[in-house]
């Protein structure tokens, strides 16, 4: 088996056989990668520690023929303690992001830009002021969906292409967002029985600016908890329809978030 090297973040780890586990990483050069940590649950394991919420340098062996692999060495490069201000909120945001990645990333397809965005996201979640976390998370979430090929169309009607400004004239207030079609739908293109989320123009403006801004810029976006939750609801509903993965664990994130005192 050839020896390979990647930088990666742990997405999940499940016990396997008596002393081992299967660890799924999001890596810089190999995308999502599930490999065996042989004897990793044994106290005698001499391999470097597999730290969660950390950038790790992983040396591993992988068979090109069978696709199975196992971990050789692990070297921690950077850790995110997520403990600043003693809030559970940071951990909740970071966990939700990794859950969504684990659900949506295809196996062994390199996503280098998304990997680096994820590292940047974790740095922000680790140190940004509490009040900025929700906006940073939403910006990351919407970008992650776009990388996965689910880019919500917020600029105009997904069917006829009329611009948002024009569509807004049809309605006095809310616009219709179809999670199934993946964007706004003008009045003329709406069909009876289709499900729409009603989106206020100011919600759209915020989503649009989060979609187009960097994570640093997103940290400066003023967002109330209530508005943030509404936007999160729109994005999670959109993700559920688009990805067809059924009940995503990350949807429970909404509930967790509501229980966590963030503000």
Residue 199, interface with Zn ion (CB under 5 A)? no
Residue 157, interface with Zn ion (CB under 5 A)? yes
Minimum distance of Zn ion from residue 24's CB (angstroms): 41
Minimum distance of Zn ion from residue 208's CB (angstroms): 18
Residue 158, interface with Zn ion (CB under 5 A)? no
Contacts made by residues 249-258, CB under 8 angstroms, sequence distance 24+:
249/99, 249/103, 250/96, 250/99, 250/100, 250/103, 253/92, 253/95, 253/96, 253/99, 254/229, 256/92, 256/96, 257/89, 257/92, 257/229, 257/232, 258/229
Residue from 91, 97, 139, 186 touching Zn ion (CB under 5 A): that is 186
Binding mask 159-178 for Zn ion (x = CB under 5 A): xx------------------
Residue from 142, 189, 231, 234 touching Zn ion (CB under 5 A): that is 189
Q: Report CA-CA distances (Å) from 229 to 1, 197, 199, 254.
A: 48, 14, 13, 8
Sign of CA dihedral 138, 143, 148, 152: positive
User: What's the rounded Cα separation, in Å, for the pair 56 and 114?
Assistant: 16
Choices 8-16, 19-27, 121-129, 153-161; region in contact with Zn ion by CB under 5 A = 153-161
Residue 184, interface with Zn ion (CB under 5 A)? no
Of the pair 92, 178, the CB lying nearest Zn ion is at 178
Residues making contact with Zn ion (CB under 5 A):
157, 159-160, 186, 189
């Amino acid at each position: 088996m050839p020896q390979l090297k990647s930088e990666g973040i742990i997405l999940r780890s499940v016990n396997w056989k008596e002393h081992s586990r299967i660890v799924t990483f999001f890596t810089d050069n190999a995308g999502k990668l599930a490999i065996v940590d042989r004897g990793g649950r044994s106290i005698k394991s001499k391999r470097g520690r597999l730290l969660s919420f950390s950038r790790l340098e992983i040396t591993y062996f992988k068979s090109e023929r069978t696709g199975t692999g196992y971990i050789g060495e692990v070297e921690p490069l950077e850790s995110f303690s997520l403990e600043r201000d003693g809030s559970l909120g940071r951990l909740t945001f970071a966990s939700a992001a990794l859950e969504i990645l684990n659900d949506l990333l295809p196996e062994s397809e390199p996503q280098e830009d998304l990997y680096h965005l994820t590292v940047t996201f974790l740095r922000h979640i680790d140190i940004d002021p509490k009040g900025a976390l929700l906006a940073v998370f939403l910006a990351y979430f919407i970008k992650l969906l776009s990388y996965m090929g689910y880019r919500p169309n917020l600029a105009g009607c997904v069917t006829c292409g009329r611009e948002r400004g024009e569509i807004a004239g049809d309605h006095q207030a809310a616009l219709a967002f179809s999670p199934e079609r993946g964007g706004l739908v003008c009045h003329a293109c709406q069909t009876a029985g289709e499900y729409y989320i009603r989106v206020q123009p100011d919600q759209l403006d915020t989503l649009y600016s989060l979609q187009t801004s960097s994570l640093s810029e997103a940290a400066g976006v003023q967002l109330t908890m209530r508005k943030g939750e509404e936007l999160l609801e729109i994005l999670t509903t959109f993700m559920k329809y688009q990805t067809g993965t059924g009940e995503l664990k990350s949807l429970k994130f909404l509930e967790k978030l509501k229980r966590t005192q963030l503000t």
